[in-house]
Amino acid sequence: MRIAITRTGGFAGIERRAELDTTGRPDATHVQALAHRALASAAEEGTAVTGVPDGFRYEISVDGRTIHCADPHLTHEQRELIRFVLKEGA
């Protein structure tokens, strides 16, 4: 599974992007499950809420499916996935 996250906006207005391939990772099952939950919560629970000025905006793509979300209205799973991919991804 390929997970790509682009973070835009923020006070600085500086874009950040990271991508991660779960293939061959020892934590692949965990990360894939997290990604599924992060996307599912956006699609099904209507987390598509209005962002705030200077709040970070995120684009999360998982195997070609893309969702958008924004601080401070992220689900727990989205927050965790974003933190993980921006830290571990390249």
Partner 1 sequence: MHPVFCTIVPPHVLDKLAQSEDPAVSESARRTLEHDSLQRTRRRITTLRGVAAPTGTPSDKPERTIYDAEHREVAPGRKVHAEGDAPSNDTTVNRAHAGLGATFELFLKVYGRHSIDDAGLPLDATVHYGEKYDNAFWDGSQMVFGDGDNDLFLDFTIPVDVIGHELTHGVTQHTANLEYYGQSGALNESVSDVFGSLIKQYALGQSADQADWLIGAGLLGPNVDRGVALRSMKAPGTAYDDDVLGKDPQPATMDDYVRTSRDNGGVHINSGIPNHAFYLLATDLGGNAWERAGKIWYATLTGGELLASDADFAEFARLTAASARTLFGEGDEIQAVLKAWSSVGVPAS
According to the binding rule CB under 8 A, does residue 15 interact with partner 1?
A: yes
Q: How far is the CB of 24 from partner 1 (least distance, A)?
A: 26
Angle between helix axes 76-88 and 28-44 (nearest 10 degrees) is 140
In 3-state terms the chain splits into helix, strand, coil percentages (rounded to 5) of: 35, 30, 35
Site for partner 1 in 28-67 (CB under 8 A): 42-43, 46-57, 59, 64-67
| Residue numbers at the binding site for partner 1 (CB under 8 A) | 8-15, 42-43, 46-57, 59, 64-72, 74, 79, 83
